[in-house]
Structure 1
Amino acid sequence: MTPEEKKLLDSHVKEIAKILYKNAPPEKLETFEGIETTVRDQVLEHVNPKIGIFFISEKTGTDKGRIRKIRSCVGKILITRKQALRLGIEPYRRFSPLLEKCCLLLSANESFKEAEKDLKVLTGIEVGHSTHHRQVKKVDLSMPNVKQKLTEVCLDGGMVRLRSEKKGESAYWKEYKTGRLQGIYYGAFFQDNLSLTDWINSQNIGKILYCLGDGHDGIWKLYRNIADSQCRHEILDWYHLKENLYKIQASKKFLLTIEADLWQGFVEEAIKKLRKTKYVGVTNFIKYLSKHRHRLVNYMYFQAEQLSSVGSGAVESAVKQIDKRMQVVGAQWKYENLPQMLQLRCAYLNGQLAAPF
């Protein structure tokens, strides 16, 4: 922008400001926040749409066609059919791409009612909570692909509360499965294990695939359908191994000794020490170690060499991230809405909803 253009712009803006101020309710200008809100509301209604329309006309080079209204982050914009076609706006779309993205970002993190309130505060745009819900149901979300070779997978199960189809019956809980690839990419599937394994198998899998699990039999059964057995290296997550160790009713000093052995991969030494005691819970823990013996590694070495996320509770953290949205206070889901909502939460965690700049 040249100095002359800036000077001209300033003079026009000043004239616009005079008109807006003259038509602003005096009682709303008593505080700084009141002025902020008033200016934003007036600009959204009277100024931004006109600027948006001009930009669209200049860029598309046309103003022909049937006119329709699009709700956007800069206000309600009138756009013709040909303009919409040239800008890639689908027929019957009521929301601009950016406003839709804002709605999805909020809906991925909080209840639809809270999303309605927060959008109004953040942007000045009003979108009802039921509309937020409809936006989620119709959006097309694809699962992410790992950009490099896939060498680490974490699988776990989470719980969601479903609304009963029959009136008067209480809500009930169902399990969903989640996967986290390379410690970065999230995917969650409700009652659809095949789609989960297909998603993982579609990646560019490396020579060794470290598969982390929490000891639940259902998780290890899923791993049987992932990659080739020769490249699959199953590992019991350290967080859960340690959690089971501390169920033993023993002195802290003894438990720390066993923990140190297991951390360094000295499983047989740990079992020998355990068998010499009669602490409550020892027998069950020895059975636990024997069952998962082939999944126990030198955790200290794996962490030092950064081979896998074995020592960080990686398995459980994926579920916790997803449950922050799925288990908000009072949440009860319809069976048919769950898969899409899980995908939305994962899309947010994967950074797919971030606006491009």
Structure 2
Amino acid sequence: MNPEKQAELKQHLDAIAKLLYEEADPAELTTLEGIEKNVRAQAQKHVLPQLGGFFINAATDRHSGKQRTLTSILGPVTLTTAQAQQLQVKSRTRWSPYFSKCCALVSANASYQRAEEDIAMLTGVSISHSTLQRLVQREDWCEVEVSEPIEELSLDGGMIRLRTQKGQPGQWREYKALNVHGHGGVAFFKDNQGLISWVNQRQLAALLTCLGDGHDGVWNIFESIGTPEQRIEVLDWYHLMENAHKVQATAAQLSRIRARLWRGETRQVIRYLRQERCRGATGFINYLKHHSHRLIDYQAWQEAGHSIGSGRVESLVKQIGLRVKLPGAQWLGENVPKVLKHRCAYLNGDFVA
């Protein structure tokens, strides 16, 4: 904007500011917070809708059709059917696309009741928690898109509390979260076969690394992904160390165990544990035998540029938990898949403009 336009704009803004100040409640102007709220409210009521209408009319060349008014962060804006089509606004919606995106972002992180309060605070626009829930439930959230062959996967599980009849204890049911390294994550509720089908329908690399903890449920799912020839199963190094520290051994003994496991020397570790007769060694030996084909030379594997831990999917589960494990929250079973897709869409960055 050149200096002449800036001077003209300032002149008009000074005149607008004077008019708004005359309409302001003096009691709201005693603090900076009060001034901020008052200016935003008056701008959304008197100024921004007119600016939005001018931009809409100037940016579109088709003004015919029935008019409708949308709630937006600018306040109420009016556009015709032809304008809505040209500006890619969905039919039969009362909310602008950008405001809907703001609602989805906040709702992905908090309860709908809390999201209602946060949205009013952040945008100055009111929307009820029940409307927020309807917006989320009717949205068709896109799953993560994978354009390249999948080379690494990590899998973990989380719990969701389902709603029961009044007076009955809550029921906890498991969902599975899958992270496609370098692309994003997805989650499936009581639908392991759906998860397996989702992966197998994508292009898989000639060598596919599958990372997980010691839970058999994780490896049972991995058994149905890809082929045995292409699948490389790797036990998460940090879970391995977590189990190693359950052995009641001295610091020197644990250091020796760690060093040998780091190089994939499982048999030597088992032999050493039997020789030292440490308390708790029997359980760890059985653990090592059970996962022996998943214990690799972690040092060489890491130096080759591969992952040795399933922290990405564990982080995904924790992030989903922030939304689904709100204090006192219970979910209807049919709503859980939508909530999981909504949260994963947020974590995958699908809301970024």
TM-score, normalized by the shorter chain, greater than 0.5: yes
- What SS class does the counterpart of residue 170 from structure 1 fall into? coil
Residue 259 of structure 1: aligned partner: 258
8 Å CA contact 1:70, 1:78 repeated in 2: yes
Q: Distance in 2 between matches of 1:276 and 1:220?
A: 31
Q: TM-score, normalised by structure 2?
A: 0.96
Partner residue, 1:301: 300
Distance 1:230 1:177 in 2: 24
Query: Would you say 1:325 and 2:332 are equivalent positions?
Result: no
Shift of 1:183: 5.1
Normalised by the length of structure 1, the TM-score is 0.95
Residue aligning to 1:21: 21
Alpha-carbon offset, residue 287 of structure 1? 0.9
Give, as a single letter, the amino acid of the residue that structure 1 aligns with 2:342.
Answer: L
Runs of 4+ off more than 6 Å = none
Does 2:82 correspond to 1:82? yes
Q: CA deviation at 1:152?
A: 0.4
Query: Match of 2:174, SS?
Result: strand
Match for residue 351 of structure 1?
349
In the alignment, structure 1 segments of 5+ residues that lack a partner are none
Which residue number in structure 2 is paired with residue 230 of structure 1?
A: 229
Q: How many residues align?
A: 353
CA contact (8 A) 2:105 2:346 kept: yes
Superposition pairs for residues 172-321 of structure 1, below 5 Å?
A: 172-182=171-181, 184-308=183-307, 310-311=308-309, 313-321=311-319
Q: CA RMSD for the aligned pairs? A: 1.5
Asked if structure 2 preserves the Cα contact closer than 8 Å seen for 1:69 and 1:77, the reply is yes
The counterpart of 2:338, out of the listed 337, 340, 345, is 340
Q: What's the counterpart of residue 169 of structure 2?
A: 170
C-alpha spacing 1:4/1:315, structure 2 compared with 1 (3 Å): closer
Partner of residue 150, structure 1: 150
Compute the displacement of 1:167 (Å): 2.5
Which amino acid in 1 is paired with 2:47?
A: V
Confirm or deny: 8 A CA contact 1:214 1:315 kept in the other structure: no
Deviation at 1:48, TM superposition (A): 0.6
Aligned to 2:99: 99
Closer, same or farther in 2 for the Cα pair 1:315/1:6, shift >3 Å? Answer: closer
CA drift of 1:329 comes to 1.9
Q: Deviations over 1:335-356 (max 9, x none)?
A: 111001001111111111112x
Residue type at the aligned position of 1:201:
N
Q: Within 2, Cα distance between the matches of 1:331 and 1:201?
A: 34
In the TM superposition, what are the counterparts of 1:15-164 in structure 2 within 5 Å?
A: 15-164=15-164
Aligned-partner SS, 1:276: helix
Q: Distance in 2 between matches of 1:62 and 1:130?
A: 35
Is contact 2:213–2:310 with CA below 8 Å preserved after alignment? Answer: no
Q: Distance in 2 between matches of 1:24 and 1:294?
A: 73
Report if the CA contact (8 A) 1:144-1:185 is conserved. yes
8 Å CA contact retained: 1:71, 1:94 = yes
Structure 2: distance between partners of 1:312 and 1:206:
19
Distance 1:317 1:260 in 2: 27
Letter in 1 for 2:258: E
Separation (CA, whole Å) in 2 of partners of 1:314 and 1:298: 21
What is the identity, as a one-letter code, of the residue corresponding to 1:346? C
Distance 2:154 2:309 in 1: 12
Cα distance in 2 for partners of 1:204, 1:289 equals: 32
CA distance in 2, matches of 1:196, 1:335: 18
2:155 touches 2:310 (CA, 8 Å); kept in 1?
no
Conservation of the 8 A alpha-carbon contact between 1:303 and 1:311: no
Confirm or deny: 8 A CA contact 1:299 1:311 kept in the other structure: no
C-alpha distance 184-281 of structure 1, shift in aligned 2 (>3 A): farther
By how many angstroms is 1:7 displaced? 2.1
1:278 and 1:305 map into 2 onto residues whose CA distance is 35
What is the letter of the counterpart of residue 154 of structure 1? Answer: S
Check the 8 A contact 1:53/1:77 in 2, yes or no: yes
Q: 1:258 to 1:137 in 2, by over 3 A?
A: same
- Confirm or deny: 8 A CA contact 1:237 1:314 kept in the other structure: no
Q: Is the 8 A contact 2:144 2:183 kept in 1?
A: no
Do the aligned partners of residues 236 and 188 (structure 1) sit closer, same or farther apart at CA in structure 2, a change above 3 Å counting?
Answer: same
CA distance in 1, matches of 2:188, 2:119: 28
Identity %: 45
Q: Does the residue aligned with 1:15 lie in a helix, a strand or coil? A: helix
Q: 1:40-69 deviations in whole A, cap 9, x for unaligned?
A: 111011111111111111122243322211
Report the alpha carbon displacement of residue 113 of structure 1 after superposing the two structures with TM: 1.6
Q: Could you say which residue in structure 2 is the equivalent of 1:12?
A: 12
Give the secondary-structure state (helix, strand or coil) at the position aligned to 2:256: helix
Query: How far off its partner does 1:86 sit?
Result: 1.9
Give 1:10 shift: 1.6
| 1:200-251 superposed Cα distances (whole Å, 9 cap, x missing partner) | 2232321111001112111111112211221100011112111111111222
Change (3 A) 1:314 1:91: closer
